[in-house]
Amino acid sequence: MVVEKLIDHLGPAKDEENNLNGCSIIQDMFETKEFYNILCKKENIQRIADYACAPINRSTKASKTSSLYVINQIISHHIEKQKKKDMTKDDSKDQNADDEDDMIVQQNSDDEKDEELEASNPTSLVSQANNLVEVLLEKIPDLQEILRSDHPGEMVSYSVSEVNFVPLGQQRLRTVDLVLNMVKLKNNEIFESLGKSEIFRNIMDNVKQYPWNNFLQLKVINLCTEVIENNENAEFRKAFLNTSGIAKALVEMSEKAFIQMESERTIRNGYMALVTSISNKLQKRYDGQEKHEDMTVSDYLEEVGEDWRAFVDGELKASNENNNKTLGGCTTRNNMPEDEEENSNYDVQMEKIMARFTNFNQILS
């Protein structure tokens, strides 16, 4: 009853204060096992997801953002629990590494039985994961619609230009977080559905639409890092690269690397840090600078063709050289070993500080 009442407080029928209080209390009670098990029942996850994935022009902002925060926290909490479980399994395998072959066969048989028992137990990690996946799969079309970059609304203007735009809003921002957490679940069904959707293309469209939104850019960089560097599913990586059109989007944004303000002063465009960061990640996988060459990324960039190579040799190279410059100009260093130089600088600084204290004490006396 308490869980149901708290979830009710996330709904649009309640005011913003109730939404925030419900969100806070639910989060505080995550560490209580009994409460968390009830919260992870399918019907409860379904209600929270319905509030979180309401259309842009329906429900209330407070209800949607509070519910998105809760569903993201549930997924993150589940991922942490899964990591701890995997670490325990690895430790157990290391301890039994020297067992006989017949013992290993017996262990594998026991593991399969344990998984079957876990799936039938509604409070087990496997059962809770199944509930999450089932609900999230149904919400992928809704997420795709929410993340469109062309929603109508009241327009505002940038402080750096006279361009009018509809603000991104917290719902779309936290929905990008939800997509990232769905990727981190490492579920093949979710990978397949996300790969077939237009979600990643819509996210890149938002980056182009909101070049000065640093919060969005940080989340997109984290998402790309998770897919490009940490994901082992080659089919999903391929689908992500193709459906997002990320390389072409990066090249397109680099063509507008600088903008001119009303004062006619030229400044770097807001999304160029993202362009440089993600492009370097792709290029490292293409060149094999990290571990080994990623053929999925290599084949994709080869298909992009001359536009990508010209971008790498031009704007990306210039950006990296500029970012690697020492602020304040070049510094000269002698041949003294680094440790000795640091010690010498430290001693000089301490002598100056002590001299100042001595002079101050003399003045006081």
What pLDDT shows up at residue 33?
86
Question: pLDDT at residue 179 above 70?
Answer: yes
Give residue-wise pLDDT tens across range 225-266.
999 998 889 999 999 999 999 999 999 999 888 887 777 788
Give residue-wise pLDDT tens across range 1-33.
889 999 999 999 999 999 999 999 998 888 888
| CA-wise closest residue to 132 among 79, 176, 180, 87 | 79
User: In the beta sheet, which residues pair with residue 156?
Assistant: 165
Task: Answer with the residue of higher pLDDT: 290 or 120.
Answer: 120
What pLDDT shows up at residue 21?
93
Give residue-wise pLDDT tens across range 89-126.
666 655 655 554 444 444 444 444 444 455 667 778 88
Burial 93-115 (b: 16+ CB within 10 A, else e): eeeeeeeeeeeeeeeeeeeeeee
Question: pLDDT at residue 185 above 60?
Answer: yes
User: In the beta sheet, which residues pair with residue 260?
Assistant: 266
Question: pLDDT at residue 176 above 80?
Answer: yes
Domain boundaries, the chain: 1-89+114-146, 158-326
Average pLDDT for 75-97: 75
- Main-chain dihedrals φ then ψ at residue 260, nearest 5 degrees: -105, 125
Residue where the block lists tokens 């569903």: 71
Looking at residue 147, its amino acid is: L
Q: State if pTM tops 0.85.
A: no
Distance CA(153)–CA(175), nearest Å, equals 18
Whole-angstrom CA distances from 131 to 6, 165, 196, 212 are 20, 38, 21, 37
| CA-wise closest residue to 203 among 172, 248, 247 | 172
What pLDDT shows up at residue 198?
94
